[in-house]
Structure 1
């Protein structure tokens, strides 16, 4: 019996009474953990903050509040954890399916391994290699195997490419399949992947079915934390219960109709927003221009411009076609600008003629002919700055979106990762999603620390870009549960800031006797210990036997990555600063195997501080400067932190599995959060 057969037996079992009993257990523990967390953090704020050391006491209680909120979000999701059991049978009548394999510069043999496996999928389909590198050798290999290749056309030249999202959007408009299976270049699909997922689309509102990402080149120890068994399992199942399971970039099937509706609706919304913003700005410019203006001629022009703006606003309110609104607006403002400029030109011409008559040099104004006056009459010579500014705005309003290669972009292009934003927008339109918890494709994970860090940073940056641009808490169309499920993923990346406090607090206590808590009393332990125990118990019952320790280690150990992702995404979104995006290496560099300690310098500094604190508390005990429970509690805390951080030492020294077959390659495109 194969592992896939065993997995299917487990799915049938979990879909019945066993799954229901598990959900009751999960809900019971989730409720108890939530009450314990609220009780603890409420008491911390009201009765235990040491205000004499407020500069560390307040950051610590804020960090603890962050962690309690994180726990509450996890419990909220787990409340509706969904075990779907066996999937619905696929459609009896064949539907059309396009299989997209996205690639840029991955080795041709790696891409072809995936493409040939995709070609062998049992359900009828068409297989396409989306080669964003437009490589001749890739095209030749695909042609030999009878596979289609899609590359970008001239429309994309000198326009934003939008990375993988642009590659997929380009392919969407070049194909016609009703459904799309999206695979990264390294994700080798099982022949049954469509048979096991297409049945969900019998629901006419089902837009997306996501399956796990699992990596075949990861040893059992998983020193780089690649498998993410908690996310690709209970967390996605929890989101699924709230109809918020989201697209993770690969191993997913999407309905074309849903994507095209999304693309069209976003196009209309963005153009409408642009036009409305332009009209509001125009009104403000005109109001300012009137403040100190007394020239009747200028005031008349401003009146005419206001009439054009008001007419455009009325047309928008009447839901007239945007093309008509923008055309009338542009022509109206241009007519005023030209008319005003023409009046000025006539005045200039008369002045020049008078000067020429008075001049003794007949050649002085010979060059100022009608052609030269036409140049002077360009719109940027308008004496009314407000009208000129509005003219520029009017010309910028373009329903054809000439700044983009194609006006309709179904997959979101607002971040370096297209997946989460696309799913959130689909949910906002009322579409549904499903998480099918069965391994139906096997990929390749990063095999060294540098590659892993680049990958995790990109995931986190993409998530935070979405958070800053389209905060789910305020997005229209999402249910309360969907808002919290998307927000919980984004919230998790703020943990880097809490980690700094969790490192600094015990170090300060052991080294200098600074205690952020009023007293480590019975009240303290009676509230803290139940919360910690119940929180870990919740992880245990939700995980249902899946390993979670490695994920917990990296959630703290990668705190510099999470901090950089938040700050860099903020700078990018609000200040226009480039992310400094780095492409993940596709092939492990066998010649550069020297340990990269520089990549974990902040963690090494933190570990050094923790070890120094242990030495100092020993000295303080020997000299009689330390006593009581506080040093003992913080010593245990420091030891726990050191155990957590020990993973970075092992990660730096890790050399990956021995190269064999395809295992020497690394994946750059696998999506999804940690």
Structure 2
């Protein structure tokens, strides 16, 4: 357990009261500052830098507010009850291409877990040598069933979903291939499930191969501690991909619920498209015939009844069947009464994108089919046939997927956050257990670390765009904000560019984005800055956040790329590759290219600093403004300097780094305003 658990209840209560006071003071001073910035200090003569700067500052103030809300109800849980007798547990070790020896070491440790369980290696690489190693260890081995051939694999989420259908334990312990579990991991977590509402228990992720000083910013003691405890206080502690125990019933309920919701959404879209088809058909000359007009009225009535039945909660299978039957009868009567329309209808329908006995496999295909059908100038008979085809296009069996139920979310390259958010929306609870119960491996070189951070960010932004918590039904307001705060933090790359640019513009061109005196500015800014740092100091409970401050700004190109690429994937369908984090050191050749944008920024900052020093020496311009912006540039350069030891890092060699649970020197990837980039996911 962490040192904080040694605090007396009185000391802990006093610290929490102090934290709440600091949160209130920080937010008050921040609101005063940002209100003044928007209303009285903008230099509209330089709006092109003044507006971006105040927007960036507003972003940071919101970040502070979200962090303060997170910490407002930070929860220190007492020890859970004893693990229940007779509970059945499946331990899943997910792997794709990791070394067989590494996976075997994790599996061997999993076998030594003291609580009775079954251990399974989930090998997405289907490697014969891995199967042989599993057999030698006496653990189960699961790979994809033939149903997954030529179907979306959904990366790690698909791997776990496949295994869920081949096992039956009440609870699941999910481990990444490098996360060595400690024997007591189930004894210390299963007791939480005495509460029938608990679906998830997340434990910290700590890494045993991090050198002193944590040169790559791998450890995350602030997230796996105060922040997760803060989210836990709002019932929003979320799944981080590994070192977590989940209730099977909760996951299966989620899978069934998503199946029903997605098919109902497809039916709603089909009904909407059918209505458009009928409206267009009424403009056809043949629609003036009394029998035809009557048939179209009947179809419209059938569509209206279907929408009402769906809204009343009837099963979509029954709604679909009844609608298809009614439209089929209407179509048959119309054919019998007016055979003259058949030839023109057949000619039009041959041009449609699929034959009548085909099904539409994906949501996007359904939308495309609706667009094409509604664009056709069909006769009434053709329109009615189109309605039938739209209803038949709803793929109840989900032929596009390997299995109809997908309990773990597949909307993102990182499955964890979306899954726990959906569980919370269904009314389930989560718990954060603050005790190191597994030891993993962090990236051993800068390139691997950057790929890992990029994937985490991309996955989180995908979730924000596809299943935004702010509008997700079932979540409380606090839960919406807790999830959104993590997603929001990945927008910081754009703010960082502004923060780097503003002092350069002043030092090189003498353009000040703030229209005020130095005294007036500091009178409003310094109280906020000091209170913000004090709030962070108390919230972090003595854990250094400096390395995190460096990386949160220094990785700005990663955050920007993540947002742009994820938006391109969600909005434009551009592919987004899933890359498994390498568990061994990769080649460092060309390492400087990995940080080329940071180098460009550093060079520009140095040039601006030289110009500023010359201006200061010659007494050109306002000396206070020049000095402040020089200090700002120096701070930025210190921030970026973290990349120098990262590039030179040769990998962990047991250089005296302390054990994870004792790592007073551990750093985390945090920014001074409480963002969560890079800390919320496991190292798949």
Give the TM-score normalised by the residue count of structure 2. Answer: 0.88
Matched, 1:425 2:414: no
Shift of residue 387, structure 1, vs aligned partner: 3.3
Aligned residues: 631
> Counterparts of 1:202-221 in structure 2 under 5 Å?
202-221=194-213
SS of the aligned residue for 1:442 comes to strand
Per the alignment, residue 633 of structure 1 pairs with 628
C-alpha deviations, 1:498-553, integer Å up to 9, x for none? Answer: 00100110000000001001124322101111111111111111111222111111
CA separation of 1:348 and 1:267: change in aligned 2, threshold 3 A:
closer
1:202 is displaced (CA, Å) by 1.1
1:356-435 map, 5 Å: 383-384=379-380, 386-435=383-432
Aligned counterparts of 1:11 and 1:624: Cα–Cα separation in 2: 52
Are the equivalent residues in 2 in contact too, given 1:111–1:185 (CA < 8 A)? Answer: yes
Aligned-residue CA RMSD (Å): 2.5
| Distance in 2 (alpha carbons) for counterparts of 1:339 and 1:15 | 82
**Which of 547, 556, 561 is matched with 1:559 structurally?**
556
Q: Quote the Cα distance in structure 1 between the aligned partners of 2:501 and 2:29.
A: 25
- Whether the aligned pair in 2 keeps the contact of 1:509 and 1:634 (CA below 8 Å) is yes
| CA distance in 1 between partners of 2:452 and 2:458 (Å) | 10
User: 1:645 aligned to 640, 645, 652, which one?
Assistant: 640
Q: Quick check: 2:205–2:682 contact (8 Å CA) kept in 1? A: no
Q: Does structure 2 conserve the Cα–Cα contact (< 8 Å) formed by 1:305 and 1:387?
A: yes
Larger radius of gyration: 1
| Matched residue, 1:32 | 25
Residues 659 and 329 (structure 1), Cα distance of their counterparts in 2 relative to 1, 3 Å cut: farther
Partner of 2:37: 44
Q: Tell me which residue corresponds to 1:159.
A: 151
Partner of 2:324: 330
Within a 5 Å distance, the mapping from 1:28-427 to structure 2 comes to 28-91=21-84, 93-291=85-283, 293=285, 294-296=287-289, 298-334=292-328, 383-384=379-380, 386-427=383-424
What residue in structure 2 maps to residue 358 of structure 1?
none
Q: Which residue of 2 is the match for residue 528 of structure 1?
A: 525
Deviation at 1:324, TM superposition (A): 1.8
Q: Which segment drifts farther, 596-605 or 298-307?
A: 298-307
Offset at 1:343?
7.4
Q: Aligned partners of 2:565, 2:153: CA distance in 1, in Å?
A: 21
Separation in structure 2 between the aligned mates of residue 343 and residue 584 of structure 1, nearest angstrom: 66
Asked whether the 8 Å contact 1:103–1:111 carries over to 2, the reply is yes
Is the 8 Å Cα contact of residues 99 and 180 (structure 1) preserved in structure 2?
Answer: yes
Give the match for residue 478 of structure 1: 475
Taking a change above 3 Å as real, the CA distance of residues 531 and 70 of structure 1, as seen in their structure-2 partners, is same
Distance 1:580 1:127, change over 3 A: closer
Cα distance in 2 for partners of 1:271, 1:560 equals 39
- How many Å apart are 1:389 and its aligned residue? 3.7
Secondary structure of the corresponding residue to residue 642 of structure 2: helix
Residue deviations 1:131-185 (CA, integer Å, cap 9, x gap): 1111111111111111001111111112111111111111112111111110000
Tell me the equivalent position of 2:664.
Answer: none
CA distance in 1, matches of 2:25, 2:249: 43
Say if 1:336 and 1:145 are closer, same or farther in 2 by CA, change over 3 A.
Answer: same
TM-score (norm: length of structure 1):
0.89
**SS of corresponding position for 2:90:** strand
On the 8 A contact 1:13/1:19 being kept in 2, the answer is no
C-alpha deviation, 1:266, in angstroms: 1.4
Query: Is 1:609 equivalent to 2:604 in the alignment?
Result: yes
8 A Cα contact 1:117 1:188, kept in partner: yes
Q: CA separation of 1:64/1:670 partners in 2, compared to 1, >3 Å: closer, same or farther?
A: closer
Gapped regions of structure 2 (runs ≥ 5): 345-349, 358-372, 656-677
**Deviation (angstroms), 1:90:** 1.9
